[in-house]
Amino acid sequence: MPVNIADGRVIEEGIVRITEQDAERLSRYLVRAGDIVYSRRGDVTRCALITDSEDGWLCGTGCLRARPDLAKVEPRFLLAHLSSPPTRAWIRGMAVGTSMPNLNTQILGSVPLVVPPLAEQRRIAGLLGALAHKIDHLGGIGERAEHLMTALFERMVTETDWPSTTVSDCFTIVMGQSPKGSTYTSDRENALPLVQGMGAFGQRFPETDVYTTAPTKRAQPGDVLLTVRAPVGEVNIVREELCAGRGVAAIRSEHPAYAEQVMRSLRSSWAAQESGTIFPAVNGKQIAQMLVFKPSASRVEEYEASARPLYDLAHLVEQQASRLRALRDELLPKLISGKLRVADDYLAEAAPVTVG
């Protein structure tokens, strides 16, 4: 399902499973290695490559399946092409629906592609795969840092029977507000990044190619960004000042590492708070009244001192990964167009990366 798609791959954690009988009955919807699955609603640019590990799994009703002709296209190249900023922007622009974008087979089948010879596709996929491996390695370091921060937090909140309080008693809440569409721009000069919701969320920091020259509500570095529309409760950290759109809220604290863990700990609690007629949402009052543990001020200070090096490490490795993703996005159109060529002796499976 769409919730299981992230960073070009399928996330197995928390995935729903079906019986063998249901899989047989729905066999026409099973995926094969090399397929690419797309989210049909919401963030319609979210896609993943099916590997041997997911071969034979079921494509849920919230997804679309694209099956490449392997005689013409290398699936890893196709995924990179579909994940490139220009193609993502094209898909967003063509998606139908006003309140929630929708993707269909006609739109997906009309995506413009530039397809080099198959051998060149494989070389490009190999080069980009080497970058992806490095990005994944950095992501693993960040995840371990986050797990350690969470373990420290859980130990703190369980070591004593702390009283409860509300989110508004601990943090400043800034509800997002979208600026006028006429202020949107792709040129960041004299403009601030605009984050409207989950579609701009990255691994740790938001990543957007939309800016505004008239920001309404500003989020500051270190603020926790919380999605307030479906899916509610997802968290990112603000790296640079940005404009918070109506799909997010900024949670501000003198103890950013602590604030991040508190908001992450509430993720499973938002279901009971959701409201709205078009799709689930929470408002400022609901966020403010959410109950959280209230450790002593000295204990929060101790946690912040212990967790801050891990917090900074998670920031550092994600910044490095972000630069590599930017390099990947810059290389891809040049490789596709032939302005850059991968050396002829470069093999898709090789570790060294050579651009000639």
**CATH entry 3.40.50.1390 includes domain 163-294:** no
Predicted structure pTM score: 0.75
CB neighbour list of residue 22: distance below 8 Å, 6 or more residues apart: 58
pLDDT at residue number 212: 96
The four Cα atoms 198, 200, 203, 205 give a dihedral, to 10 degrees, of -110
Q: 2-115: which CATH architecture?
A: Alpha-Beta Complex (3.90)
User: What is the helix (H) or strand (E) element at residue 143, kind and residue range?
Assistant: helix 118-158
d(CA 265, CA 155): 13
User: What is the helix (H) or strand (E) element at residue 251, kind and residue range?
Assistant: strand 248-252
Query: Within the chain, which residue ranges are assigned CATH 1.10.287?
Result: 116-161+295-356
d(CA 138, CA 140): 5
d(CA 255, CA 172): 12
The first and second tokens of residue 238, run together, are: 């603000």
**CATH entry 1.10.287 includes domain 116-161+295-356:** yes
d(CA 307, CA 305): 6
Q: Which residues of the chain fall below pLDDT 50? A: 277-278, 346-356
Report whether 224 contacts 256 (CB < 8 A).
yes
Report whether 208 contacts 45 (CB < 8 A).
no
pLDDT at residue number 328: 87
Distance of CA 213 to the CA centre of its chain: 25
Report whether 348 contacts 233 (CB < 8 A).
no
CB neighbour list of residue 265: distance below 8 Å, 6 or more residues apart: 153, 157, 292
pLDDT at residue number 98: 64
DSSP reduced 3-state for 282: coil
Report whether 300 contacts 288 (CB < 8 A).
no
pLDDT at residue number 279: 55
Token pair 């034979």 in the structure block, residue: 56
Query: Within the chain, which residue ranges are assigned CATH 3.90.220.20?
Result: 2-115, 163-294
